[in-house]
Chains A and B, each alone.
Chain A
Amino acid sequence: MKRLLAAALMLAPGPVLAHSFGKLYNLPVPIWLYLYGAAAALLVSFLIVGFFVNVKSVDANYRSVALDRFEFWRSIDSAAVLATWRAISVAGLALTIATGLFGKNNAYQNFNMTFFWIIFVLGFTYLTAVIGNVYAVLNPWLVLTQWAERLRPGLFDGRRPYPERWSYYPALALYMAFIWIELFGRTKPLSLSVILLAYTAITLTAAWWWGRSAWFRYGEFFAVFFRLTAKMAPLAYVDDGTGRRRLRLRHPFTGLLEERAEHLSLLLFVLFMLSSTAFDGIKDTVFWVKIFWRHLFHALLPLTGGTLVQSYPLFQKLYVVWQTLALVLSAYFYLGIYLFFVWLARKVTRVQTPVRELALKFAFSLIPIAFVYNITHYYTLIATQGSQIVRLVSDPFGYGWDIFATRKWLLAPITLDAGTVWHTQVWLILAGHIVSVYLAHVEALKIFPTQRQATLSQLPMLFLMVAFTAIGLWILSRPIDSGQVGG
């Protein structure tokens, strides 16, 4: 039976063995290092609780400094500079689409795959966490609507009001579709361009129908994503009411304390930031692959009535359904864990505030953990694949051009030492954990009437965050399936 199954699995390359872009060269984190990370997270969390036991006020966190009295800011905030950057943004989108449509359909020789998946999705996210929400003005789709309105004023005022009860669900749905495409879409330059064109059509149509401000607030998922990410940044662009942007410098991460998540859909969005990265990490591990290809497969095979070889194609299709369900439900799985601990916090503090309200107030304190989940999982790609952008800008279509004479640069592959990667991963996750626990404490001091209640509430929250952090570390330590599972 085992031999037959192994032979059957060899008949066609299964989803596990698919050739995809952006290969990670990371080895699983050694067990001792994972245990250390988890233990350290627990230890540090208790230390933070101990620190806050006697803390009275936390106003210092909200102090910020205005930077716009400096000439430098005034010079970059000018209309001309902004217009240039907006044009560059749209040109970037246009080039990404064009190279996919008209260039070589090879992921490693075309500009668009590396530019979109590595430079934009990863690089720009990390940049946003440092320089703040520049996407709010540089959003290429937003700029397109602004340019269109110069020809047809009022085009994007909206035909119908945006249904308030939809809240951020459209952005969440698009986010889930985006991650599905990233993990299972096996995009190549051409299909990526088609997807981006489709997204452009969706965005412009929705902005036309419900109005630009509503759609770019609730529906354009990159806008929501970058706005949340930018809350961590020490730089903030504040509208002072007169239409001018003021640049402020603040303590990093304090932006997360400014407001609560306004709706369950936004809480789910934050949780999906966590769970989608966790799912991406776990989906290729022996642990996960075994669940379907060993346990479920053997349980369901008799039901199909066919032989192993006959049923195999059916199971391949089922696997895609299984993976998709797991991805979508992962957000709700994390929601369940989160709500349980928030409920516990409410119970021990005996407050009247409903669980939903507390859940929304603590939602943004999870973002640092989500962020380090993301960095630790993907950052090596910036070195190994992102570096290729240097030669790809010279030959974006893969025709053999050499515009900037960098076509031969950095051809030799760049790999990072596995030991270094392990340590950075564990330390980064620990750092994100510390920030989240600290933020949740500050939030608690704002919410709960007495300091004793605030401290008590943080004990369940501590376990919640240790759980999320430990899951993240555990996933990083799991052996990856390389074809071993098959019987």
Chain B
Amino acid sequence: MNPRGWLFVVAGGALLAALFVMLKPEPAPPSAAEAPAAPAATPAPASVPIGPRLFDLTVKNGRLESGPTVIKVTEGDELIVRITTDQADDLHLHGYDLHAHLKPGAATELRLVANRTGRFEYELHKAHVDLGVLEVHPR
């Protein structure tokens, strides 16, 4: 490419870099818990998390009766998902590839550290139902 071409490339690169620096926001603090979507919602945990964050889900007749459909956390957060179900089933969290066998009656706790970022669905295998999504946002 001739010198004039290189001039455009360099100028373009500099402008793109400047624009990027201008638009990029400051890193945000960890976000609070996501609002639930189902009618009968359990109250969200305290807004200043100390230790693991707790999310309560209730499953009845193979569907989510109460609890958030979107669990939103920040990378590195420790969380506990506590599920109460009326029928035995297997919970599978994609991405983290975690399995938990759910026994009816007693609540089952799934503990994890959100070290993978992304959007991960979790479902009940026997009921063939997607319960919700875990969103782990980068810092």
Residues of A within 8 A of B100 (CB): none
Shortest distance in angstroms between B38's beta carbon and chain A's nearest beta carbon? 7
Given contacts A40-B16, A50-B8, contact A25 B23 (CB under 8 A): no
Chain A contributes a number of interface residues (CB within 8 A of B) equal to 41
The stretch of A146-154, A230-238, A412-420 that contacts the partner chain: A412-420
Q: In the complex the two chains form, is A51's CB within 8 Å of B5's CB?
A: yes
> Which residues of A in the span 16-67 have a Cβ within 8 Å of any Cβ on B?
17-19, 23-27, 32-33, 35-36, 39-40, 43-44, 47-48, 50-51, 54
Tell whether, in the assembled complex, residue B130 and residue A19 are in contact, meaning their CB atoms are under 8 Å apart: yes
B interface SS class: mixed
Q: Within 8 Å of chain A (Cβ to Cβ): is B82?
A: no
Cα distance A3–B23 in the bound complex, in angstroms = 41
CB of A302 closer than 8 Å to a CB of B:
no
Of B11, B39, B70, the contact of A3 (CB 8 Å cutoff): B39
Closest-by-CB residue of B relative to A36 is B23
Rounded to whole angstroms, the CA-CA distance of A44 and B39 in the bound complex is 48
A418 touches B137 (CB 8 A): yes
**A92 lies within 8 A of chain B by Cβ:** no
Q: A10-B64, A413-B97, A419-B117 are in contact. Are A36 and B20 (CB under 8 A)?
A: yes
Q: How many residues of B contact A (CB 8 A)?
A: 39
Q: A13 — which chain B residues lie within 8 A by C-beta?
A: 128-130
Query: Across the interface, do A51 and B39 meet the contact criterion of CB distance under 8 Å?
Result: no
Which residues 404-445 of A sit at the B interface, judged by CB distance below 8 A? 412-413, 415-419, 421
Measured between beta carbons, the chain A residues less than 8 angstroms from B70 are 482-484
Chain A's closest residue to B98 (CB) is A413
Which of the 9-residue segments B44-52, B83-91, B102-110, B119-127 touches chain A? B119-127
A7 interface hit (Cβ, 8 Å): yes
Q: Can you name the residue of chain A whose Cβ is closest to the Cβ of B125?
A: A19
Can you spell out 9 A-B residue pairs with CB atoms less than 8 angstroms apart? A17-B130, A32-B24, A51-B5, A415-B117, A415-B118, A418-B137, A480-B119, A482-B133, A483-B70
Report which A residues bind B (CB closer than 8 A): 3, 6-7, 10-11, 13, 17-19, 23-27, 32-33, 35-36, 39-40, 43-44, 47-48, 50-51, 54, 384, 412-413, 415-419, 421, 480, 482-484, 486
Other A-B pairs, 17, CB within 8 Å; known A39-B19, A413-B94, A419-B117: A6-B39, A10-B64, A18-B130, A19-B123, A23-B95, A24-B119, A25-B118, A27-B118, A27-B135, A32-B25, A36-B24, A417-B117, A418-B117, A418-B136, A480-B133, A482-B121, A483-B37
